[in-house]
């Protein structure tokens, strides 16, 4: 799985969450503009932010990374 596919999975997890981009940004300590950049596939979060996103969104990092399909 390449970086773009991982970014697409992360974007889908963000879209499917019940939280607004602003709420997600606050929870993981980044700006709402940064979340917007993740959604546009412009950037990928730093490892610590990625971990916080997965925890907050209640998704397994292995799924986002394509290691596990569930």
Over range 45-70, report the average pLDDT: 94
Q: Does residue 59 carry a pLDDT above 70?
A: yes
pTM score, two decimals? Answer: 0.90
What is the pLDDT, as a whole number, of residue 70? Answer: 67
* Integer Cα distance of 61 and 64 in angstroms: 5
1 vs 21, residue with greater confidence: 21
What is the pLDDT, as a whole number, of residue 26? Answer: 98
| 3-state SS assignment for residue 46 | coil
What does each C-alpha distance from 66 to 3, 7, 22, 29 come to in angstroms?
10, 11, 26, 25
Query: What confidence tens digit (pLDDT) does each residue in 7-44 have?
Result: 999 999 999 999 999 999 999 999 999 999 999 999 99
Domains in the chain, ordered, with CATH?
A: 3-64 (1.10.260.40)
């Amino acid at each position: 799985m390449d970086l773009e596919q991982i970014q697409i999975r992360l974007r889908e997890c963000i879209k499917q969450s019940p939280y607004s981009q602003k709420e997600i940004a606050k929870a993981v300590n980044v700006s709402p503009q940064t979340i917007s950049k993740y959604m546009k596939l412009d950037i990928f979060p730093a490892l610590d932010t990625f971990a916080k996103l997965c925890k907050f969104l209640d998704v397994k990092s292995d799924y986002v990374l394509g290691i596990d399909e569930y």
